[in-house]
Amino acid sequence: MKGFIFDLDGVIVDTAGYHFQAWKKLAEELGVSFTLEDNERLKGVSRARSLEIILELGNIRASEAEKKVWMQQKNEDYLEYVNRMDRQELLPGVLSALQILKDRGGKIALGSASKNARLILEKTGIMPLFDAVVDGNDVSRAKPDPEVFVLAAAQIGAEAPDCVVFEDSVAGIRAANVAGMTSIGIGDAGTLHEARRVYPGFTEIDIPAFFE
Ligand code: BG6
Ligand code: MG
């Protein structure tokens, strides 16, 4: 039996721009200059660590209480974008890949750092295609720690060598490799050179070949 574990942000949906808009709003309020290039460092990283990076950029020291308020504020702004999402936001080829994997008897899991993952799967209408969802609410150690993928594999009853992980972040590729799973990078081959294979997107992947 084969298991297929999908990261969410940057693999299934392109939410980086929404995260950026919401973090940028907060950064401006705090007087921190925050660019699209800085936003690259936030990909695959937890909400708490993302805030720390922004505070470091502005040399700001803050109490835990302040950080909590700011994270909540950013998430409320981010949710305004998420609440407007629908099936159109699925990245090209994702839906067809999920359907082929399912039709061939593969087990499908989500392995994401996001605490908003379930809402996004509902909004885009693909929740029924998932056999398990492991997200930022279920794990205590962030990628590159393999915890999220190990838990996802356990929930679909697949052994690590039988699992394929689709990831767009360097930290996520490392997590998959440490877990002993086949890492497939979605994005730039140079950035994701630690992955077993890298594709620009799902339309370029021969999905049935995973079953040969
Ligand atoms: C990851 C994103 O999937 O989830 C990060 O790549 C994000 O950019 C992280 O910070 C946490 O997301 P959320 O939705 O819980 O704030
Ligand atoms: Mg990602």
Q: What phi and psi, each to the nearest 5 degrees, are found at residue 166?
A: -100, 120
**Gap from CA of 114 to ligand 2 centroid (Å):** 9
What pLDDT does 181 receive? Answer: 98
Residue nearest to atom 2 of ligand 1 (CA): 44
Instruction: Output the pTM of the full model.
Output: 0.95
Q: Is 191 exposed, middle or buried (0-12, 13-18, 19+ CB in 10 A)?
A: middle
Mean pLDDT of successive 10-residue stretches along the chain, which has 212 residues = 95 96 98 93 91 97 98 98 98 98 97 97 98 96 96 98 96 97 97 97 97 90
Residue among 32, 7, 30 nearest 130 (CA): 7
How far apart CA 89 and CA 121 sit, in angstroms, is 11
Residue with the two structure tokens 């972040």:
169
How is domain 16-82 classified at the architecture level of CATH? Orthogonal Bundle (1.10)
Which of 15, 46, 139, 141 most suits a substitution to test ligand 1, by most atoms within 8 Å of the C-beta?
A: 46
* Tokens standing for residue 9: 């942000």
Q: Which ligand is nearest to the CA of 170?
A: 2
| Number of alpha carbons in the 13 Å side-chain half-sphere of residue 49 | 14
Give residue limits of the domains in the chain: 3-14+87-211, 16-82
What pLDDT does 84 receive? Answer: 97
Domain spanning 3-14+87-211: CATH superfamily: HAD superfamily/HAD-like (3.40.50.1000)
Q: Which ligand is nearest to the CA of 186?
A: 2
